[in-house]
Amino acid sequence: MSYGKVLSTVQVDGAATVPSPVVPISALSTSSDPTLVLVQPSALINLLPQLKNYANKPIVFQTSSLDSQLPGDHSQTLLALRSLATILYSTNEQQAIANNAIAAQVAKSTGKAVVHFGEFEQKVFGQPSSSSSAVQNGSNGVNGKAAESTPTQAALEAAYAAIPSASPYSVFGETKAPTTVIVALSGNATAALSASLPAKTKLVSLNLYRPLPAQLIRSFVTKSTKAVVVLEQSYSGNGKWTPLFLDVVGAFAESEDEAPEKFLSGTVGFISDAKKAVKDINAAIAASTSPFTLGVLPAASAASSSTPVARPKHEATYTNLLNEVFGSRLWVANAPTSLLPPSNISSTSPEYALGHVLGSEKKREELRAAVRAVLALPADEASIDEATAKSLAAWLADDRTPSLGVAASSAILASDSTSPAINKLRDLVKAEGAEFVRKSSWIIGSEVWAHDLGASGLHHALATGADVNLLLIDTTPYVLPSDEDAPAPGAPRRKDAGLYAMNYGNAYVASVAVYGDFAQTLRAISEADSFKGPSVVIAYLPQGDVDSTRALEVLKNTKKAIEVGAWPLFRWDPSAEKRGKEVFELDSEKIKADLRTFLDRQNHLTELSNRLPKFGEALESGEGTKLVALQKRKAREAFDALAGALEGPPLLVLFASDGGNAEKLAKKFAGRARTRGVAARTLAFDDLPLDDLKLETNVAFFTSVAGQGEFPQNGRVFWKDIQAGKIAAGDLANVNYSVFAMGDSHYWPRKEDAHFYNKAGKDLQKKLVELGAVEAVEIGLGDDQDPDGPQTAYKIWEPAMWKFLGVDNFESTEPELEPITNEHIKIASNYLRGTIAEGLADKSTGALAESDGQLTKFHGIYQQDDRDIREERKAAGLEPAYSFMVRMRLPAGVCTPAQWLAVDEISDRRGNHTFKLTTRQTFQFHGIVKHNLKPAMQEINKMLLDTVAACGDVNRTVMCSANPSLGALHAKVFKFADDLSEQLKPQTSAYAEIWLDKKQIAGDAVKDFEPLYGEYYLPRKFKIAIAVPPTNDTDVFCHDLGYIAILDEKKELLGFNVTVGGGMGVTHSMKSTYPRLANVVGFIGPEQGVEVAKAVLLTQRDNGNRANRKNARVKYTVDRMGIDNFMAEVEQRLGWKLQPARPYTFTSNVDQFGWQTGHDGKRHFTVFIENGRVADEPEKLYKTGMQAIARAHKGVFRLTANQHLIIADIPPEEESTIQSILEQYKLASVDFSALRLSSAACVAMPTCGLAMAESERYLPDLIGKVETVMEEAGLRHNSITMRMTGCPNGCARPWVAEIAFVGKAPGSYLMMLGGGYHGQRLSKPYREAVNEEDIIKILTPMIKQYALEKNDGEHFGDFVIRKGIISATTEGKHFYDGEFPGQEAH
């Protein structure tokens, strides 16, 4: 594992020297490889203020304890860096080499900082040799018996598996029933004791200090264990208990299990006599001496091995911590030794200490004035050199940075200038004690001060605004009100010093607990020191006035107080707002987690329900609850309307919208109106009782168009009633109105159709004038073709509305609410759970919440309704006929006959008695109503299949060539497809919880950890296809990622050419969207395929456009970055480069129908199932016939990417049986025209919510008409790929067809020509809008010309390009170049 950059605070070979470990984020490695930073232990404390920024960066901090002031001392390292997720410890160079590799791999895979420290020479280590081993004895596990694996633990497990020479810990001595367990983070202890352990003693030597799960620690101990001894090399400790000792004791504080009788802490120095060391340990256990010393500590001032370490008071924990962080800068202003007050004033009085601090600050102000005086002198009078002047100026600009103070002080003391100003400055420093380096001033007190905030000095400090820090240590343990130790009801109540300070508004306030969250305590005292003004740090230290308190008791009490909220951990920094940061930071992890869960699952979703239509209905418990809620809403709206009318002009905003754009703009307009004091409310056209319209004062209408200038669905009843005369002329005389219409002028390119552009809005405008309404602002016509789309006209229309309403001079200071997007929904979903389970239980509606509709896609489910009866149900006052489409995950489209029968049965029992073979080689059910949804999912699971990731922003079903002649090769490629599907599958357990009641029939329950996707998943869907030349039946170039199998002369698999960047989805008239074919980027071996897929997926995850879903697919990422840059990042993640692509040839992308023989002699029959719909129709008994075949067939079924079916692996002796069944149900014939056999259509109407026109139900009829033309031209057996979709999302991949139609409105299609027959070239738009008459009129002469003038073997797509009928599309970005040549021709 290599590093992208190596930095060092001292000169080391192979590293760039830096002055400080505080490296700018911009200076870190820009590659995917981590940055290595070599740091001296003494410099680590400088990292504290920036540690939070580094924690989530791939950095390895490496430090050697041999370079500590006390050689071998771990104190400085663990003080500064113990809050980081991963800390590795090495006792020698051999371990250091292995742990260096572990650290680099973990930092790279997690993207988080790692610490590597120990006793080794500081240098840049190479790779571990395969023969080296750091495992001394026994265990080599990371998690032990840990209940669950975190991302860091998972990364460590992978790293240890890849680097066998590394080990997280080693075990020596008794392992089954030890009475004494020694846990050591000490090379000295391990070296001396491992070979000298007495009986019944177990030694666990740690090489991995973080993560150290509590359950793992507890696993070291058995029921027979009486004592646990923790040995460390922390010589300058900042408290009674050392870091590892607190971790070990804390592990038992979290557990209800009985803890060992004794926990002892030992400090290990140099051990020359192992036997004596063992005796000292036993003596300490017998006498319960803790802490104790083992060996000789490396300092003259250290206690000898026979003298126990001095035990400081608990309060000293905080003062020692301050000393470690601030060193010589620390000044405890009320320490008895620092003050010599008059005899009648206590030296520790907070008031006196504050006065002393203010006096010191006055002295510093004199120093600043003296420096300003020096710098103000002319150069000839100052008599100081330029360097000294710069040092003084830098200090004056920032007198809080210690290094600038040291530089200024040194410069002035070294100056030989005799200038009076210089002399005065020098005297201030020498004689009067003024200091350039700012002291960290602290006043330390106890909870007693909280009884009288005036006497504590707190009030005075806040009132003066002094730059001083107050540390108030609270030693009163948390007790329940019912406990014996609870204060009496009448006892004096302490004031909340923190709240008091926060109310002042000028102070930094923090609540900390060193034994609850050490890292938060460090961060708080560091931030307090940096804050310009008073700081109050309230510190919890239960029973701190009782020095004999056991560590376990302190940890348990601290943990309890924090978790129940009695002592919340927080930081409040009023200066943070100016820096764009949060003023209040809640640091209590459990409270924060509970709060986050509540907010994510409740408040955030409530916000969604208020801002997205109909969101909340599925969460109601029944009709009664809905009625009450409706009554409350009506009352609230009435009140708001009344209150608003008193404050500003009333405004009703009405919208009619199918796609949602007009609705979003209307609601945005209403929201802006409300911020200006306008009493605005929004409704759909059809939701307004028509009689109420005449009662309105100001009305803004927003409408898009549907079909041939018709009103959208939710505006048609309104419009019909208007046309029917339900409002008489003159009824709207008191109504001021304006219309904003939204359309696309290119939708109707023919002159005779131009009046359809924005027809709905224009018709409404005309009718309102007839009814006597007063036009407040001229109609706005939003056009998709304008430079900014509809916004071009809207930016003119909206200000005119504000002027009319009299609010044009208002300037809002409130930012607009960020619109709720799929990204918000995903992150708030708790790994795809949302409120799906609650929605399924709601019997009051057939729908799920709108946000859950986005989440169910990840579960393979789309919410739909029957659009054929939508109008009738609305007229009857009913909600739409909601149902669900369920798509299965079926890698490579392979299933067994038993699974086919189960699918058939589910479609009858739960669906609409049909099912679909899709263009992604899987099954799709339609018409499953909500109460049948969960049973259907469970039945799918019983057949050992699932629907996970069949949809959603993840990798979807992996496609694979279904060519029956491939034989054994197909088995290999199918296995590869299956591996890809499994490796890239989301890992959330939400699917098993919601649909299977946590009981998975097939496979093990997965964990809520998404190593590939993270909480946000991908920006958009991700599709993979595998093609085996010469057949490109999967349209491999149409996918985000593709694999083209490369075979040798014996038809054996050599590997794959890789393709990247394909995609089909487009938005009509939005030229920033376009189809794209993938680039061939190189060749790989079969074993490298999954690794490449992950690298491409991760590159898209981290670089895809999450701000605009219309430009979020891989194709746009590739074009934005450039294919070379995209692949460079992929190869960086891989750590190796792809080989040059190998030659290959495609000859077709259609299926081969009828009987074929594989290399193994088995027979295969490809059944033509038109557009993949498995249903019984007259003369087409697909459903019944396939049931009979499934009962008789002993092989497998292969679904093709063209929506047909291969009955595969039929033994020759069973061919006659299958043939007779095919003939019985009239499925044996494949004597269809080549055009029909080469066609494909998506589902579209009536179930697909995105469909703009018919597709599956219409294409067979259209082909029948075109077939007549083909047969007249003698082309019945000439294959031309013709595809149709109901919308531009391209499910049937029309953008590569030779002839294609994409729905724009009922009966109207975008027509395209010129696609490649092999799927190797995109088509191009030929006519913008055609109906059936136009299609036949266009194709008839074109097909006849093709019959007469085509070259031998020339395909239709190639012909129309050669003849200049259409130009070739060379790449996706040029899709629109030369579009619509058929507009003029026809």
Looking up tokens 């000295």, which residue turns up?
A: 188
* Cβ proximity of 51 and 57 under 8 Å: no
**Residue type for 177, please?**
A
**Residue 1287 designated active-site:** yes
The one catalytic residue among 762, 920, 1023, 1236: 1023
Question: Cα angle at 479 between 474 and 484, to 5 degrees?
Answer: 125
**Residue 1248 designated active-site:** yes
The one catalytic residue among 951, 960, 1038, 1248: 1248
Q: Which two tokens stand for residue 363?
A: 């002295």
SS3 breakdown of the chain: % helix, strand, coil, rounded to 5?
40, 20, 40
For residue 636, the SS3 value is helix
Beta bridge partners of 1207: 1165, 1197
DSSP state of 45: G
- H or E stretch including 287? helix 274-287
Evaluated on CA atoms 848, 981, 918, 1077, the torsion sign reads positive
For residue 747, the SS3 value is helix
Give φ, ψ of 1205 to 5 degrees.
-140, 135
> Distance between CA atoms of 382 and 1218, rounded to whole angstroms?
107
> Distance between CA atoms of 174 and 168, rounded to whole angstroms?
19
- H or E stretch including 1103? helix 1089-1103
CA dihedral 987, 990, 991, 996 (to 10 degrees): 130
Note the helical H segments in 612-715.
Answer: 623-647, 661-675, 690-693
> Distance between CA atoms of 1341 and 1326, rounded to whole angstroms?
15
> Distance between CA atoms of 1273 and 504, rounded to whole angstroms?
91
Instruction: Give me the DSSP letters along 1216-1245.
Output: HHHHHHHHHTT-S-----HHHHTEEE---T
DSSP state of 1327: E
Beta strands, E only, 296-340 = 330-332
**Residue 833 designated active-site:** no
Give φ, ψ of 567 to 5 degrees.
-130, 80
The one catalytic residue among 895, 960, 1038, 1287: 1287
Single out the residue of 240, 243, 238, 227 nearest to residue 547, CA to CA: 240
> Distance between CA atoms of 645 and 176, rounded to whole angstroms?
80
Residue 471: CB partners within 8 Å, gap ≥ 6? 318, 322, 442, 443, 444, 445, 525, 537, 539
DSSP state of 3: -
The one catalytic residue among 523, 1291, 1293, 1327: 1291
| Neighbour tally for 1145: CB within 10 Å | 8
- H or E stretch including 475? none
Write the CA distances from 789 to 743, 744, 754, 794, 1107, integer angstroms: 9, 9, 18, 9, 18
**Residue type for 180, please?**
T
Question: Cα angle at 566 between 564 and 571, to 5 degrees?
Answer: 105
On the CB side of 1263, CA atoms within 13 Å amount to: 27
**Residue 870 designated active-site:** no
**Residue 108 designated active-site:** no
Note the helical H segments in 401-476.
Answer: 402-414, 420-430, 458-464
> Distance between CA atoms of 588 and 594, rounded to whole angstroms?
10
Looking up tokens 């008839």, which residue turns up?
A: 1340
* Cβ proximity of 1321 and 1369 under 8 Å: yes
Q: Does the N-terminal peptide bond of residue 49 adopt cis geometry, omega within 30 degrees of 0?
A: no
Single out the residue of 1053, 900, 894 nearest to residue 958, CA to CA: 894
Query: Residues with catalytic annotation?
Result: 887, 956, 1021, 1023, 1242, 1248, 1287, 1291
